[in-house]
Amino acid sequence: MGHLDGKVALITGAGGMKGIGRACALKLASQGADIVLSDFKREPGDLPPQEVKAQWRSIDSVAEEVEALGRRSFKIWCDLTVSGEIEDMARQAAAHYGHIDILVNNARAIIGRDRVPITELREEVWQRFLTINTTAVFLATKFVAKGMIERGKGGRIINMASDASKRGRPLMAAYNASKFAVLGLTQASALDLAPHRITVNAVCPGSVNTDRLNYWEEAQAKAQGISLEEFRARIVAEAGKSIPLGRMAEPEDVANMVAFLASDEAAFITGQAYNVNGGSLFH
């Protein structure tokens, strides 16, 4: 018997081979949950080199892993910049399993094109970050929570924020603003949904060792004449030196916190923002 037997979890941004979404899907499935996997169909040029080499198939591959754990999976392709697709995602997921108990708002915009001074930040880049990182979280919460309220058995909503939700940095105006907003949304929706026994919390990772495409890293690797994998290995090694616990977080570290917040043990926790960063930020 798992802690989440009989529960259904919807996870956005779940298709990355080394992503937090996949780690959350496998963790929750290992504890008994059936999983709804959602992601955006990416162009070949927007895929990390590791996924291309491994012939990774996004949520199709993750679905096979979930089912190998003995749990059911359901896949929904969704463009989080389109509100109608988000509403349809929530409707399809609830219709397929009959209910949604856990929502993990994990997807984020691809970073890199935002890494410029505020005076050079293009409005369309700014808007894309707010649309995917903030507005999509609001809409998924709105549509999924409606179903949770109608069912009357409570629920768990977990928003993937960031240490960038708590600390501004140079060249990160769009990302910082979008992630700071996630914390305000988390707190306000936690209060709105508390009467219905739906908890809403945020997880705030620091640097995480994923292979998600980063346009800035791609450009830096090209400028230095090295592979993206080699450039990332350098970043991981350097990041570990500045983190008190001596290493960059792995996706599984974040998934462990998500699993706790999804469990009955976290039933009296709401409106909170938990750091998962090895001691690099304390508030």
CB atoms within 10 A of CB 173: 20
Q: Which residues are catalytic?
A: 175, 179
Write down the pLDDT at residue 193.
99
Instruction: Delimit the domains of the chain by residue range.
Output: 8-212+250-274
- Taking the C-alpha atoms of 258, 234, 46 and 27 in order, what is their torsion angle to the nearest 10 degrees? -20
What stretch of H or E contains 105?
strand 102-105
Write down the pLDDT at residue 229.
77
CATH class of 8-212+250-274: alpha beta
Bridge partners (DSSP) of residue 11 are 37, 104
Q: What is the pLDDT of residues 63-115, one digit of tens each?
A: 999 999 999 999 999 999 999 999 999 999 999 999 999 999 999 998 889 99
User: What residue has token string 């979890």?
Assistant: 9
Write down the pLDDT at residue 47.
82
Positions of the chain with pLDDT under 50: none
* Closest-CA residue to 232 (of 251, 200, 207, 261): 207
CA–CA separation, 258 and 160 (whole Å) = 9
Write down the pLDDT at residue 61.
97
Write down the pLDDT at residue 266.
98
What stretch of H or E contains 137?
helix 136-151
Write down the pLDDT at residue 232.
77
Write down the pLDDT at residue 169.
95
Question: Burial letters for 8-43: b for 16+ Cβ neighbours within 10 Å, e otherwise?
Answer: bbbbbbbbbbbbbbbbbbbbbbbbbbbbbbbbbeee
Residues 6+ apart with CB under 8 A from 18: 48, 50, 209, 210, 211, 212, 251
Tokens of 19: 């992503």
* Closest-CA residue to 35 (of 8, 4, 69): 8
